Amino acid sequence: MSDEKKSIQSIVTPTRLEYDFTPGAATARFLRGVKEGRILGQRCPECSKVYVPARGSCPRCGVATRDEVEIDGKGTVTTFCVVRVPSENIDLKLPYTAAHILLDGSDIPFFALIQECEADEVRMGMRVEAVWAPKEEWGATFANIRYFRPIDEPDVAFEKFKEHL
């Protein structure tokens, strides 16, 4: 037996986490809207910022948000990431792009996939629209919006969305 110490270089440990999500009132209204093919946000009564998905309160002012605002599915890419690392849990052709999308009329971007273009074509300021799953597949889930795709509109100037980074 050798006195040499051997160190472990790596270990593979499969993990799985299952959980149930119970939405609050604002998130439940958002999810019911998505089930109907509508994107709903809420406006702060003090600063007038619109949050999509709704959070129930304004993180800036600390007050309840009750005024619902319907937003269409068009928006602007504010930042993005090109993913080149495979994952056994994600069935997408590499590379793919994930981006923060600032929907028109909202004041906070959210994370979504960009598809129907090459990863090297995605850019900050690019105009995109939501691509919905077939209506018969809709449920109370954000997965109703499959991804966003580029639209034939001019890019938005950085100065117009820089505060949303």
* Global confidence as pTM: 0.85
Q: What are the tens digits of pLDDT across the range 71-123? A: 999 999 999 999 999 888 888 999 999 999 999 999 999 999 999 999 999 99
Q: What are the tens digits of pLDDT across the range 77-86? A: 999 999 999 8
Side chain identity, residue 131:
V
Name the residue ranges covered by the structural domains of the chain.
Answer: 22-71, 73-165
- Choosing among 1.10.10, 3.40.50, 2.40.50, 2.60.40, the CATH entry for 73-165 is 2.40.50
